[in-house]
Chain A
Amino acid sequence: MTVEPPGAPPQPKKLGGTLYRGREGMWSWVLHRITGVAIFFFLLVHILDTALVKVSPEAYNAVIGAYKTPIMGLGEIALVGAIGYHALNGLRIILIDFWSKGAKYQKTMFWSVIVLWVVLMAGFVPRQLMHIFGGDA
Chain B
Amino acid sequence: MSETNVTIATIGSVRVPAPGSKYGRPARRPGRGINLEKWGWIYMRASGVLLAVLIFGHLFVNLVAGEGVKAIDFAFVAGKWADPFWIVWDMLLLWLALIHGANGMRTLVNDYATRPALRRILLGLILLATVALLVLGTLVLTTFDPCLGITPETASQIPQCVIE
Chain A contact patch, size range: 35 or more
Size of chain B's interface in residues, with CB distance under 8 A?
44
- With most chain B CB atoms within 10 A of its CB, the pick from A3, A36, A40, A57 is A57
- With most chain B CB atoms within 10 A of its CB, the pick from A3, A5, A43 is A43
Tell me if A78 counts as interface (CB < 8 A to partner B).
no
Tell me if B101 counts as interface (CB < 8 A to partner A).
yes
Tell me if A131 counts as interface (CB < 8 A to partner B).
yes
Total number of residue pairs linking A and B with CB closer than 8 Å: 117
CB-contact partner of A131 in B12, B70, B136, under 8 A = B70
Chain B residues packing against A (C-beta within 8 Å): 11-14, 45, 48-49, 51-52, 55-56, 59, 63-64, 67-70, 72-75, 77-78, 94, 97-98, 101-102, 104-105, 108, 129, 133, 136-137, 139-140, 143-145, 148-149, 154
Chain A residues packing against B (C-beta within 8 Å): 2-3, 5-6, 33, 36-37, 39-40, 43-44, 47-48, 50-51, 53-54, 56-58, 60-61, 64, 67-68, 73, 76, 80, 83, 87, 90-91, 93-94, 97-98, 123-124, 127-128, 130-132
